[in-house]
Structure 1
Amino acid sequence: MEGQKSPIRIAVPKIQQSKLSFCDGSLDGFEAWTNSLPMANTGAAAKLLFQASRELNVTRIPPIKRYKMLEIIRNAIYDICEVLNKRILSQSIKLGESDLKVFTLAQTLQNQLAIGYKHIVLDEIAQGPGKETKALTFAIHRAIADLSQTILRAYQLYSPAPANAWLELHQLYGLAEAKRIHEYSVKDNRGKYVSACSITDAYVRTLLLGCAKPNQLRQKELSLLYAATELWTSLVKVSIGSDKQSLFILAQHKDHAPVYRSLIKSLPSGVSRGLNPSNLATALQKHLNKESSGITVPGNLSDALVNHIANAWGAMVQRSFHRTQHSGQAEIAIGLLACHYFCAEEKSFPFLLKSWNMDLPEKKKSSKKASMDVWDQSFDAGGSGFDSDAIEFDSISFISKHGDKEEPDTGPKGTAIVSKILDTSPGGYGIAIDNPPASVQTGELVVIKEPKMLNWSLGCIRWIRSQKDQPTQLGIELIAPKAEAIAARILNKTGENGEFLRGLRIPALPAAGQDATLVLPIMPFKVGSKAEIMDGIQQQKVQLLQRHNTSRSFVQYSYNPLTQLLNKQNQADGGDDEFASIWDKL
């Protein structure tokens, strides 16, 4: 450890009373009160827990007894916080007043629990060197775990960590290291994959979370990631700040998450530490490559998430482009439905399918006799392709393709919102939105258009930053300057082919040596799949090749044509097709 020893800097409220008011103060009485909580009534239980934990933290209680009381109430607080999380994490990232109070309540309950354990820490070290009990180890472990929950919850709303949460984590770990108790194993029934871990393990898990570029991950992914770190802490090393093998640096006296070593010019003053997760990043990359990695990766972690954290915990990648401050506005639409709608010149997908005559069952397309001679349909062969005398031409209401009357588009339509441009680069935008819709998520597909631009540019939300009473900031990575709306379906070897789904085609850029690519939903497509794509004029069978851009919402594929382009307008496939646009209007 480097630098001067810093005094422990953790905050607790002053003791104001000598006994509890909501129970008789005995362990049995406290446990009976906890067991009587109306857990089925979230509001009532949360209120009682809030009042009790706050009172507990201002009441004089011996350290060992306080620890036992906190262990009794801990599961109830965690269970209620999980229920509260489900409510706030199902909303837009910009919470309304009511949901903001729910978020604050969850943070307060978790923080009150941490305060209780911090009381024990201060009481224990006040006894003097060498006089501490095992309660110090347990209390530091629990305080770190509970403070970590407040950081996780804040990250899930793309907000800054609570004030002093990082500082207190660093301080608590520093104390444990100084007392040489940081490697002792402590049982914890709130673990998902392990039943016990050390103070170092609990601390490293939160450091990994802070280093994982959390504003680029989705809310659920952050929960899954934090749980998975239980399995990986042995591959991560915490060392002194001067250890040049460390990819990240943190200062014990600063209220900050770790930062890349390459971003700082010199070590911070005072006690500093290094974090080196490179072995973990290498193991995760081997897992992705289907190589022997010696690491357990939970099945609920997608390859996209594993790839993200492997990159985040590896060597820092410098930005390809410099940002330029910019002022102005841009329209933005979020999600594949909206992107497809605007790339299709504001036509809904069902409307396009109908106008493209793609909503007809396959059996109608293949109903013609396979044995019919191609010349049977010729006029001069006297064939029976159709009886012109039997057609009542007066009954046909001929419709011009460019006629004024057109059936209304009643399908689902995309919505564009106005955003403020903060900065730009050749690779994307930094924008701000006052009231972001619930569809705003990292990895979500977007189209964006500045005033006077003809085409919508295709992009992806890479990061989100949210602060109270401030517009939500989004980082948009550009994928292509233009995209074309298509329909795509999976071609199955047996049985019926899949339904047509929304897709986008990015035109080739020969000057840049880039072939055309397809942007498709995650399911049911995959590398190697055969698919049919259609844009109303042309249809083509293709095989999906390499993935170029993978998100939690879409995949960008290169593809290999399996058939020549067929121009639907010029097809003469059996007589009926040339009139297909009018049959349903006669």
Structure 2
Amino acid sequence: MAKPPDIDIPERSKVGKTSFDIRPKKVEQWLGDLPRANLGETARLLYDTLLNVNQTIYAYQDRLRFLESMREPVQYVTESLKKHFIGASYPLPVKNQKIAAATREIQVTMATGYKIAISDMLVNTFLFTDKKLLATLLHRAITYYGRTLLTSYQIYAPCAPKVWLELHKLYSIAELRKIENQPVADYQRIYVERASINAEYSRILLLALTSPYKLRQGEASKIYFTLERWTPHCQLSNIEHYRDRERGYFAVMLNRDTPPRSLAMTMPEDCDPQQCRILNTESLAELIRNEIQDTEDLGNTTISSIELSRPDLSHDLLRRLLVAWGVETKRSFSRTHKQEKVEVGIGLSAIHKHISRRKNNERTDIYTNPAHFESIIIENINEEKPDIWNMVYPTELPGLAPLVEEEINLANPGDKDSPASPAYQQGTWTIINESAGGYCLEYRKGNSAKVQVGELIGIRRKSGSIWKWGIGAIRWIKFSSTRTLCLGVEMLNPNAAAVGIRSRGSHAKALAWQRTLMLPEIPAIRQPASLITPPTPWRVGNQIMINILGKVLPVQLTSVTQCTGLFSQFQFNLISPKHPEDDTQDVSGHWELDKDFAKIWSVM
């Protein structure tokens, strides 16, 4: 049998006068005396006791018995503390940040306790290991690391170093002992009380693949609990079992401190068969499609309307999960093969930069500069075409449509673009096939291009004598062994204008403009005008200001067309500029980890 990987555990000392007594009767009495009405004091006592026991030498059987008795009070405390940071406005106040950090540390200390028991058990019973007991220990440690990651995602904080590496090591031990598929009972689960180590590990992998830092508040926990009943529909296997690398597969590097990633974006030399596992989500995708078809839609799940108490998922969220888990959608239009070189920009900021053609690369807020104009060459003054931007603006606002047209013309002159800034470099891609709904793009210079499924993409093509930026969304990614990267792109609009938006309120002038794209209406397919914004903080019902070439317009977001987690698309209506502006709040912020909890227990 191969040697199991070494897991990270703290140094421990022999039992002393200050050591906690973990005999069952003493523990039972101590738990009964906990001041549960005082949540902060209870949290402090649990945290200090867990640290004490983790630093003391005990038999692994006694340690397991102690940890199992601590699960209920730890669950009570961590769930109660969530009210301080779940559903709160961001950035979190310092007090709430410390409470969230304390919650994570309590969960980490539980995982560490189970790891100590695992290590001691493997050392003392190498030949005759109780597999059922070892499976329970591994399952518990993986579960608490999963909850630690969930808490990080809920507060949009980075996960602690080595968490992923320790998770991978724990799963590797289960594989080596051939107990990864042995069911383990866990009364704290909601839907499925008995689950294997494989299922719990896959649950965490799938959660990480949802782009959790792009999820709205409340969605990460909903996905986490729903995955209890979904994980049996995905398969985790050795890499040699799968030769098809095209869809629904993700690579898990067991020897790296990294979450899973798309197999299509993984180089063959980076995926050692001994240390790489493949997660197949095709069956899971089919299950989600059936749920969308067979269940009633909950409606909108914007930040203001999501019901945190409801366990079921909206159709909008289910569709985003399909995109996040990398499943190719069925083709709706026939393809036409071709070979055409095009310029491509990836991401909202990069596309906005290219369209607006701002030259100032030093300032992050491009709208603090005066309006920038350039002259253009008019090749044919008699050429007249329908102005689709007239469909966006009513005639009560005279002179606005020319502003939009000028913005588009400034962004799409007949000559070549100036060199892009290093932060927003364009790439030359090849269209290898085209349909009415989109393109298949190919890039032959390796995987240096930073792309993600669900990301916004701009494609610059020549229409007559005019260069135009078409806007689309990346729906699938393929990466072959020949280092050729292919993207499936769904086109959203053949044209766009670069604008800026900010909240409409009494303090709005103090806020910076955010880069946004305005897509015109397409009457032929009854597609209304829309705005492409960052995924947060905008939501349906917001009143915002749009800045286009110095002209500021008040509008209200009326509905969300899609939200991939990397961008949102909203429909909007113009509103009267006479309405008083509401107060606004800066939702940007930075969360810092601080383990100094001495002053936080009392404020809980």
Task: Name which of structure 1's ranges 249-258 and 32-41 shifts more when overlaid on structure 2.
Answer: 32-41
Kindly provide the amino acid, as one letter, of the partner of residue 292 in structure 2: L
Kindly provide the amino acid, as one letter, of the partner of residue 244 in structure 1: R
Counterpart of 1:39 (choices 33, 36, 40) is 36
Conserved? CA contact 1:304–1:551, under 8 Å? no
Q: Aligned ranges for residues 477-496 of structure 1 at < 5 Å?
A: 481=498
**Distance change (3 Å), C-alpha of 1:299 and 1:114:** closer
- Matched position secondary structure for 2:346: coil
- 1:528-571 Cα offsets, whole Å, 9 max, x none, are xxxxxxxx9xxxxxxx9x97435899984699xxxxxxxx9xxx
**Distance change (3 Å), C-alpha of 1:20 and 1:306:** farther
Q: CA deviation at 1:160?
A: 2.5
Counterpart of 1:322 (choices 346, 355, 359) is 346
Kindly provide the amino acid, as one letter, of the partner of residue 271 in structure 2: P
- 1:474-500 Cα offsets, whole Å, 9 max, x none, are xxx999656999xxxxxxxxxxxxxxx
Q: Aligned ranges for residues 55-204 of structure 1 at < 5 Å?
A: 55-133=52-130, 134-204=132-202
Q: Is 2:315 the counterpart of 1:303?
A: yes
Q: Report the RMSD for the aligned CA atoms in angstroms.
A: 4.6
- TM-score computed with the length of structure 2 as normaliser: 0.56
Kindly provide the amino acid, as one letter, of the partner of residue 364 in structure 2: Q
Other-structure match for 1:248: 250
**Distance change (3 Å), C-alpha of 1:300 and 1:554:** farther
Q: Structure 2 unaligned runs (5+)?
A: 297-309, 330-342, 354-360, 368-395, 397-420, 427-453, 455-470, 475-491, 503-516, 532-537, 542-552, 577-604
Other-structure match for 2:267: 265
- Matched position secondary structure for 2:44: helix
Q: CA deviation at 1:84?
A: 2.1
**Distance change (3 Å), C-alpha of 1:483 and 1:300:** farther
Kindly provide the amino acid, as one letter, of the partner of residue 180 in structure 1: K
What is the CA–CA distance in structure 1 between the aligned matches of 2:320 and 2:85, rounded to whole Å?
25
Conserved? CA contact 1:281–1:311, under 8 Å? no
Q: CA deviation at 1:165?
A: 0.9
Q: Is 2:329 the counterpart of 1:313?
A: no
What is the CA–CA distance in structure 2 between the aligned matches of 1:151 and 1:109, rounded to whole Å?
13
Conserved? CA contact 2:86–2:154, under 8 Å? yes
Of the two, which has the highest radius of gyration? 1
What is the CA–CA distance in structure 1 between the aligned matches of 2:51 and 2:37, rounded to whole Å?
22
What is the CA–CA distance in structure 1 between the aligned matches of 2:519 and 2:278, rounded to whole Å?
46
Q: CA deviation at 1:21?
A: 4.2
Q: CA deviation at 1:102?
A: 1.7
Counterpart of 2:562 (choices 531, 536, 549) is 549
Kindly provide the amino acid, as one letter, of the partner of residue 287 in structure 1: E
Q: Is 2:285 the counterpart of 1:285?
A: no
- Matched position secondary structure for 1:56: helix
Q: CA deviation at 1:513?
A: 7.6
What is the CA–CA distance in structure 2 between the aligned matches of 1:51 and 1:38, rounded to whole Å?
15
Counterpart of 2:231 (choices 220, 230, 233) is 233
Q: CA deviation at 1:180?
A: 1.2
- Matched position secondary structure for 1:273: strand
What is the CA–CA distance in structure 2 between the aligned matches of 1:263 and 1:219, rounded to whole Å?
29
Identity %: 25
**Distance change (3 Å), C-alpha of 1:12 and 1:316:** farther
- 1:151-180 Cα offsets, whole Å, 9 max, x none, are 111122223221111111111111111111
**Distance change (3 Å), C-alpha of 1:422 and 1:310:** farther
What is the CA–CA distance in structure 2 between the aligned matches of 1:276 and 1:116, rounded to whole Å?
32
Kindly provide the amino acid, as one letter, of the partner of residue 281 in structure 1: A
Kindly provide the amino acid, as one letter, of the partner of residue 286 in structure 1: N
Query: Quick one: higher RCO (CA 8 Å, sep 6+), 1 or 2?
Result: 2
Q: Aligned ranges for residues 359-374 of structure 1 at < 5 Å?
A: none
Kindly provide the amino acid, as one letter, of the partner of residue 328 in structure 1: R
Aligned residues: 389
Other-structure match for 1:575: none
Kindly provide the amino acid, as one letter, of the partner of residue 260 in structure 1: S
Q: Aligned ranges for residues 339-350 of structure 1 at < 5 Å?
A: none
- Matched position secondary structure for 1:100: helix
Q: Structure 1 unaligned runs (5+)?
A: 293-297, 333-355, 357-420, 427-442, 444-458, 463-476, 486-504, 524-535, 537-543, 560-567, 569-586
Other-structure match for 2:9: 12
Other-structure match for 1:383: none
**Distance change (3 Å), C-alpha of 1:316 and 1:158:** farther
What is the CA–CA distance in structure 2 between the aligned matches of 1:260 and 1:160, rounded to whole Å?
20
- TM-score computed with the length of structure 1 as normaliser: 0.57
What is the CA–CA distance in structure 1 between the aligned matches of 2:323 and 2:89, rounded to whole Å?
28
What is the CA–CA distance in structure 2 between the aligned matches of 1:112 and 1:308, rounded to whole Å?
34
Conserved? CA contact 1:163–1:255, under 8 Å? yes
Q: Aligned ranges for residues 473-512 of structure 1 at < 5 Å?
A: 481=498, 508-509=520-521
